[in-house]
Chains A and B, each alone.
Chain A
Amino acid sequence: MLAQNRSTPFLWGYRLYVAAFFVFLAAPLVAAGAFAFNDSLFPALPWQGFTLDWFFNDTEPKLGMFHDRRLLRGLYYSFVIAVMVSSLSVFVGTTNAFLFVRGQFPAKNFFYIVMVIPLVIPGVILGISILVLASDTANYLEDGFNLELEFLRPGIFLVVLGQFSFITTITSLVITARLKKFDETMEEAALNLGASRARVMRTITLPFLRPAMIAAGIVAFLVSFENFNTTLFLVGSEAPLTITMYDRMAKVGSTPVLNAVSFFLMVGSGLLALLSILVQRDKSSR
């Protein structure tokens, strides 16, 4: 209908283009994933046969990812960081949503733009600026008061802050969009039926926001998990997975164990993304 004036060859060409695009989209992911099952010491052709060694084997040289201490530790740190970042950013995202949807205060539009800005600051710069401030503060406290504050030195705490600084914008936008759709008379109706304000919040408003909060949390988790640019400058000795993998890739040269990790991450984040979509769809149809 929308292409009614277009000839069929044009449409077929168009479809071919779209198909080629999706091949382009999938190619590197397929390559990264497929070599995880190649029974070879190098992630390259020719194909040497199918194996699960790069996941489960426990001896060198084919040490599988589930027996590789450093990778597992990276996975663990990534997980810890992502959980902290997503819970913090969902919390602040929710308060921001209430602030900007319900609040009346001067220069609201200005502050709204301020809220969006961290998303358009390059991640590298967020990383170094937080590193600089934290180090300055730590040095100052050390020189002036002889206080040694370890958490202001590169490490998990700074990584969490760095990622939180821009992920909060994402969660705020997601939750704000949902809260804008909320019919405030629903709260009045609940008050009218005798509920206290706290009860209204617990039984009406938060349940309405829950799908958006879960979705925002999943997005935050994934963005945190895959973040590299900001993390790079703030990381201490507890390197999360992306940093560990990068070191492996840049220094040691890659073995298919990295493909195994890639495959694992792709499946994991794919499932989580699907979950976030299901959560939103389930509720929005009501």
Chain B
Amino acid sequence: MLRFPGGGLMLQKDFKRLAMILLFAPFALWIVLLVVLPHIGMIRLSLREKVAPRVYEFGFANYLDFVNEPIYWNTLLRTGSMSLLVTALALLIGFPIAYYIAKLASNRTRGALFLICLIPLWVSDLIRAFGWILLLRETGVVSSFLQWSGIVDQPVEFLYNDVTVIVGLVYTVMLFMIVPLVSTLDGMDNSMIEAGYNLGGNGFTVLRRIIIPYAMPGIVSGCIVVFMLTAGSYLTPILLGGKNSSWFTEQIYNQFITRFNWEAGAAFGILLLLFTSTVIWLGLKLSGQTLANTVAKS
């Protein structure tokens, strides 16, 4: 009988290569068509100047506009600094909660608490912001309650100020902070904490030297997602902050939809993207983490 030694091997190799190409195709199509090319298109558009109706030429005018108009870059700085503040607040408020869920709650309550944490995750931003409006506006629940209890004697408007915007944003993004924190803390062996106490540490040193370093990937991951979501959020600042919320995404929207100035809008988009990526990159560098072991893990 005639046989080809290694014939099966060749066939198997070809089969594997074919399978590889078939698997790579959807990935490549997705990334190239929906992420890479659109961003290239946006960069190209942002570098276009309008010199006459339907006549364009290459130039940095859109970026120069941004630099020359304080309103624009003030808005970006304001968006960035408030996003950082929101991120820090979310971490401060969320960490004890995550620690409680992961380490202190009994087995059964742990699952329930985590579930309660998750449920608002599946409720649209819009509904959450709507809830806050109902609570905080002049005719809202809090105002009515304060009048009824006699603390104030006329309606109070809680909406349309920075504090409310921050509260609303912290609320919106809180879950994205808690979920990665709980999952990293959950993976931490309780005996590590006990050993920390056993070796003579007090509550503070155990927290600083053992718990926080261990939870670092979760902390960084939570912070990245939260910062990104906050800086890119649109609904909450607009609805809770009103006309003068000056959020950068609103500028982008205005350029695109209201003024139909896509070139400027694209430039603003690139700037926002550069800004958030720089902050995330800095955060990763400073904390010594990588994207792969933080966000990808959660």
Contact = CB atoms under 8 A, between A and B. Distances in A.
Tell me what chain A mostly uses at the interface: helix, strand, loop, or mixed. helix
Contact of B194 (A1, A222, A225, A245): A1
Contacts of B239: 249-250
B103 to A, nearest CB: 5
A26 B197 CA distance: 35
Interface string A209-252: 00000000000001001101100110000000010011001100
A25 B104 contact: no
Nearest to B249: A124
B78 interface: no
A127 B233 CA distance: 13
Contact of A95 (B26, B194, B202): B26
B128 A246 contact: no
Nearest to B292: A113
A23 B128 CA distance: 14
Output the residue of A17, A129, A136 with the most chain B CB within 10 A: A129
Contacts, number: 238
A265 B123 contact: yes
B123 A266 contact: yes
B130 interface: yes
A281 B122 CA distance: 19
A269 B35 contact: no
B30 A21 contact: no
Interface string A148-162: 000000000000011
Nearest to A134: B38
Contact of B42 (A2, A6, A128): A128
A226 B123 contact: yes
Nearest to A117: B35
Contacts of A109: 292
Interface string B29-47: 0110011011101100100
B141 interface: yes
B174 interface: yes
B125 A228 contact: yes
Contacts of A185: none
A26 B123 CA distance: 12
A28 B265 contact: no
A122 B130 contact: no
Contacts of A161: 34
Given A116-B291, A122-B276, A165-B34, A273 B125 contact: no
A122 B232 contact: yes
Interface residues of B, number: 83
Contacts of B71: none
Q: Which 3 A-B pairs have the closest CB atoms?
A: A122-B232, A28-B131, A226-B124
B222 to A, nearest CB: 12
Interface in B224-251: 224-225, 228-229, 231-235, 239, 249
Contacts of A3: 104
B26 A270 contact: no
Given A99-B27, A121-B273, A136-B41, A229 B132 contact: no
A92 B26 contact: yes
A205 interface: no
B117 interface: yes
Contacts of B190: 1-2
A206 B190 CA distance: 36
B264 to A, nearest CB: 11
B38 A42 contact: no
A5 B203 contact: yes
A224 to B, nearest CB: 11
